Every structure is written in C-alpha cells, then in structure tokens.
Amino acid sequence: ELAGDHPLEANSEGARDFYAFDDGNEWYVQRPPQKWLSNMHWISPADEKTHEEYLKVLARGNFDVVLDAIGRYLGLEGLVAYHLTFIGVSHSEKGFMHRDTHHTGASVYNVIIPLILEEDASPELAMQDWDDEERYG
C-alpha cells in the first residue's frame, strides 16, 4: 500500500512516519528524498516487540542457517542482524548510488531478500563503482 495507493509524500529531505497495526506491531517507515526518483519505502521495526517478531519470521525461513553459512565462508566468528528492514518499491527510474556504512573493514553487509518478484521479468543487475564506471546487464 505504501508503494501503491498511499505512499508517504516525497520531498527534498525524505519522509518518515510510524505505523501501528492491529497485531500490536509498530513500524518505522521512511521514504528517500525526491532525488532518488523512486517510490521506495524502507519499513523497519519501531520497537523491540516488532523487532523480535521479525526475527521469528526470519528464523522460520532458516535465515540463521544463511547467516551461519555466510559467516563460515567469510571466516567470521559470528554474524548479527542488527538493522532489520524491508523495502517496498514499484517504480524507480534509476538506482541511487550510496553507502550505508563506512570504515567497517568489510565487516558490514547488506543482505537483500526479495519478498515479491515480478513474474516474467528479465534478470537485472546494476553495478557501479565510485569512479563513475557503470556496467549494466
């Protein structure tokens, strides 16, 4: 609904709001600034109860097994999901290059799991480095 009929209004600073649902879970919703040319919304748990519910959903999908495999592959002693969010987007003109973390020694990663995939869509990958070299395929 946020990425469809009732989005947060985009502006030059971005938008933020809280949503409480009948199940008692509370969500913090953000929308990026207009320069992103997208109706993307980030939706994150707004309290500990909702955070714990989100972790339970991930556990039912064996996300702990995924984290363990990634950690072993990277030779790490442990991994933690410290910021849980999901993204709703139905329109984007072009990705907006940014970094979520800095100076981590390559020890912080974004794990993006698609919730809904467009049927019959062709595979899409956009990669860009900081020197303006772009490759799309």
Q: Are 27 and 46 in contact (CB under 8 A)?
A: yes
Is the predicted pLDDT of residue 137 greater than 50, yes or no? no
d(CA 85, CA 2): 14
pLDDT digits (tens, 9 = 90+) for 12-71: 777 888 988 888 999 998 888 888 888 888 889 999 999 999 889 989 989 888 888 888
Q: How far is CA 95 from CA 32, 77, 88, in A?
A: 12, 33, 14
pLDDT digits (tens, 9 = 90+) for 106-116: 677 777 776 77
**pTM tops 0.85, yes or no:** no
Average pLDDT over residues 78-93: 80
